[in-house]
Amino acid sequence: MIDAEGRHIASQAPDTFLKAVAGVLLVLAVPAAAQPVRYQETRAAMGTQFTIVVYGPDESPLQAAVSAAFDEILRIDRHWSTYLPDSDISVVNRGASQRPVPVDAELFGMLRTCLRFSRETEGAFDVTVGPLVAAWGFFKREGRIPSKKEAARALAQTGWRNVRLDGTTVSFAVPGMRLDLGAIGKGYAVDKAAAVLRQAGIQSALLDAGNSSILAIGAPPGQQGWTLMIRDPKDPKKNVEQVLLKDASLSTSGNYEKFFRVKGRTYSHIFDPRTGYPVEGVLSTSVIALTATETDALSTAFFVLRQEGTRRYLQAHPGIRVFFCGNEGCAWLR
Ligand code: AMP
Ligand code: MG
């Protein structure tokens, strides 16, 4: 017999040889601790890039689970996009001023959730901002300041209290109203995609909708949680805070996402539904809570409520953390 280095070992004393062989067998008999495989995929949806990272014992089931999770995200995008003329939301927006429009249970549930967030955030979250988004040019992605008349008209076509939900239908009390799920849809898609991964038995994953809504399932192997950064709203190359996330979600709303500048003023894509004007002076709001639907909706609402209104919300709602960045700097409100 010849060893790995080409030496004849049969000439060794037999018991030493046997012990050596037994040692090798013993080592081979102990199953090597399986190194988890990491699989990552990025795809475009909802006007941004979604990235999913998963860990598990084998690559092929991970790939299948991630593919099913993306199918779920794309399904929601197809149904709820305001950019697709045949989406469920577009059908509602075209018809609900004239008559009650039937919707499926999923959209009905989402609209109920939206109205609940409106009630709980003093109207800061408002799914009817569609006419404001259009009047200020954000729908066509070319920001513009509307005339006073246009701005007032758009404001008159909004208002969550003008949405009527009746069992299975939705109707608008005011003509020209339009729903826009831009502040909650990505978070909901992340939650639904996470449910698909959990169903497939995945215990370690990160789902990221363009850095604006992130959900962590478990932690990466051997770690306490997923280490995430909150970026500096004034400088995309810098971070202002580090967060360790495990079985929770982090969403950030930022004035840097979509904005335009006129005469030194920054007009961003988040509107105060009570005035109809873009919120000024807030740079970003980050929220940590259990679901991405909640953190997505609340990060937008807190952007509108500013520090004072956010503190009021927090008093009534435990278990939520908020990181707030304004012109004067950034701080945890809780
Ligand atoms: P987010 O980045 O999640 O804060 O969502 C911002 C998007 O939500 C905007 O681009 C609009 O489409 C929509 N939006 C703007 N203001 C509001 C608001 N006050 N309530 C709900 N949705 C809003
Ligand atoms: Mg949001």
Residues within a 6 A CB radius of ligand 1: 124-127, 129, 133, 138, 180, 182-183, 212, 253, 257-258, 269-271, 273, 296, 299-300, 304
Please identify, by atom number, the ligand 1 atom nearest to the C-alpha of residue 253. Answer: 4
Mutate to test the pocket of ligand 1, among 46, 160, 180 (most ligand atoms within 8 A of CB): 180
Q: How many residues does the chain have?
A: 334
Q: How far is the CA of 182 from the centre of ligand 1 (A)?
A: 5
* Residue nearest ligand 1's atom 22 by CA: 183
Contact 75, 243 (CB under 8 A): no
Please identify, by atom number, the ligand 1 atom nearest to the C-alpha of residue 273. Answer: 19
Q: How far is the CA of 115 from the centre of ligand 2 (A)?
A: 14
Q: Which residue(s) pair with 157 in the sheet? A: none
Name the residue type at position 92.
V
CA separation for the pair 322, 252 (Å, rounded): 10
SS3 (DSSP) at 206: strand
If you ran DSSP here, which 8-state letter would residue 81 be given? Answer: -
If you ran DSSP here, which 8-state letter would residue 220 be given? Answer: S
Which residue stretches of the chain are H helix? 14-29, 59-80, 88-95, 105-120, 130-135, 148-156, 185-199, 292-316
Ligand nearest to the CA of 298: 2
Q: Which residue(s) pair with 268 in the sheet? A: 259
pTM score over 0.85: yes
Q: Which residue(s) pair with 239 in the sheet? A: 231
* Nearest C-alpha neighbor of 296 from the set 143, 136, 121: 121
CB neighbour list of residue 299: distance below 8 Å, 6 or more residues apart: 212, 251, 252, 253, 285, 286, 287
For CA atoms 127, 133, 134, 136, give the dihedral sign.
positive
Please identify, by atom number, the ligand 1 atom nearest to the C-alpha of residue 127. Answer: 21
CA separation for the pair 42, 207 (Å, rounded): 10
235-245 and 265-268 beta bridge pairing: unpaired
Per-residue pLDDT of the chain (334 residues; tens, 9 = 90+): 334 433 343 333 444 444 444 444 444 555 566 799 999 999 999 999 999 999 999 999 999 999 999 999 999 999 999 999 999 999 999 999 999 999 999 999 999 999 999 999 999 999 999 999 999 999 988 899 999 999 999 999 999 999 999 999 999 999 999 999 999 999 999 999 999 999 999 999 999 999 999 999 999 999 999 999 999 999 999 999 999 999 999 999 999 999 999 999 999 999 999 999 999 999 999 999 999 999 999 999 999 999 999 999 999 999 999 999 999 999 999 9
* Residue nearest ligand 1's atom 6 by CA: 183
SS3 (DSSP) at 166: strand
